[in-house]
């Protein structure tokens, strides 16, 4: 799940025990995404996918940190879903619905969180429904590659801007566009912790992040959101679903990653 903006606090360093709890939460998230991959097909509804996700979370005694998440920025009701399910030009925060049927050619983004043992795992993936267009397939490939390019920079000798620059370079060199209004974030006890992690660097934009040094024990949610057209967005009438203004296709990939002495450790790895 994306982070808009929050009060700046110190970046928390997780202990070995806390990292073990985050690994456990991440494994639950990974199981959910694997189930989404198996069942996200033409004719299935996003409401059906949510039921499957909820069943897996409840099997482990986990809860969804998305459900009831406050929408304080817009002073609106909290998020009503266990997962986010966004289709085609919807970027993030799509609400799962019993009547939202998936069709051949759709591009589905599923965002999943698990609150377990006092800690949160957070991950998102884009799924091709049936036979998608060549443009959609390329968008998926470039966005997933951008995620892993960013993760590769999670090293003790690197800084936050190295992660961001790797994502932005991968996207823009392939003639796609990074979304600017939504971003990644630290994650742990809370869904959104420091640091904020935009997917671009721009001196003129007001969310340019502090260029912090990466330290062992940091846990971050890296999540490029990439579109085929312009980065401008709007929120639909449900007050949550974010779409591209020009109706360009969107892709979204996310992993929870720990900074370790030996490089990045993906805590939500499932494929």
Domain membership of residue 26 (yes or no) is yes
Domain membership of residue 1 (yes or no) is no
- The pTM score is 0.94
pLDDT, greater one: 117 or 4: 117
Domain membership of residue 168 (yes or no) is yes
Q: What is the mean pLDDT of residues 82-110?
A: 98
Domain membership of residue 48 (yes or no) is yes
pLDDT at 191 over 60: yes
The answer to whether 89 and 79 are in contact (CB under 8 A) is: no
Number of domains in the chain: 1
pLDDT at 229 over 80: yes
User: What tokens appear for 215 in the block?
Assistant: 């330290």
- CA dist 121 and 198 (Å) reads 19
Domain membership of residue 222 (yes or no) is yes
How is 150-212 classified by DSSP, letter by letter?
HHHT-STT-BHHHHHHHHHHHHHTTT-EE-SS-BEEE-SSSSSEEEEE-SS--TTSTTPPP-P
- CA dist 162 and 130 (Å) reads 36
What confidence category does residue 100 fall into, taking pLDDT thresholds of 50, 70 and 90? very high
- CA dist 63 and 119 (Å) reads 11
Domain membership of residue 188 (yes or no) is yes
What confidence category does residue 76 fall into, taking pLDDT thresholds of 50, 70 and 90? confident
Q: What is the mean pLDDT of residues 76-100?
A: 96
Domain membership of residue 271 (yes or no) is no
Query: How buried is 62 (Cβ within 10 angstroms: 0-12 exposed, 13-18 middle, 19+ buried)?
Result: buried
pLDDT at 233 over 80: yes
**What CATH number is attached to the domain comprising 93?**
3.90.230.10
* Unique residue bearing structure tokens 């289709």: 87
Domain housing 215: 16-266
Domain membership of residue 5 (yes or no) is no
- Please tell me the total number of residues recorded for the chain in this structure: 271
């Amino acid at each position: 799940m994306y982070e808009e903006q929050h009060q700046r606090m110190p970046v928390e360093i997780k202990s070995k025990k806390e990292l073990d709890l985050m690994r456990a939460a991440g494994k639950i998230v990974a199981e959910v995404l694997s189930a989404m991959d198996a069942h996200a097909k033409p004719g299935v509804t996003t409401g059906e996918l949510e039921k499957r996700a909820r069943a897996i979370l409840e099997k482990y005694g986990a809860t969804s940190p998305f459900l009831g998440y406050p929408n304080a920025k817009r002073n609106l009701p909290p998020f009503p879903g266990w997962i986010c399910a966004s289709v085609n030009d919807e970027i993030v925060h799509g609400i799962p619905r019993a009547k939202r049927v998936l069709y051949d050619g759709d591009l589905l983004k599923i965002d999943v969180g698990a609150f377990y043992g006092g800690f949160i795992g957070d991950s998102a993936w884009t799924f091709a429904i049936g036979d998608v267009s060549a443009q959609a397939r390329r968008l998926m490939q470039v966005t997933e590659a951008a995620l892993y390019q960013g993760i590769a920079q999670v090293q003790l000798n690197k800084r936050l801007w190295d992660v961001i620059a790797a994502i932005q370079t991968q996207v823009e060199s392939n003639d796609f566009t990074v979304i600017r209004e939504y971003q990644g974030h630290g994650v742990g006890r809370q869904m959104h912790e420091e640091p904020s992690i935009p997917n671009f660097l721009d001196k003129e934009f007001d969310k340019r992040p502090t260029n912090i040094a990466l330290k062992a024990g940091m846990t971050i949610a890296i999540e490029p959101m990439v579109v085929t057209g312009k980065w401008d967005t709007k929120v639909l009438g449900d007050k949550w679903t974010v779409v591209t203004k020009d109706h360009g296709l969107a892709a979204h990939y996310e992993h929870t990653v720990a900074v370790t002495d030996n490089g990045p450790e993906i805590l939500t790895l499932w494929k």
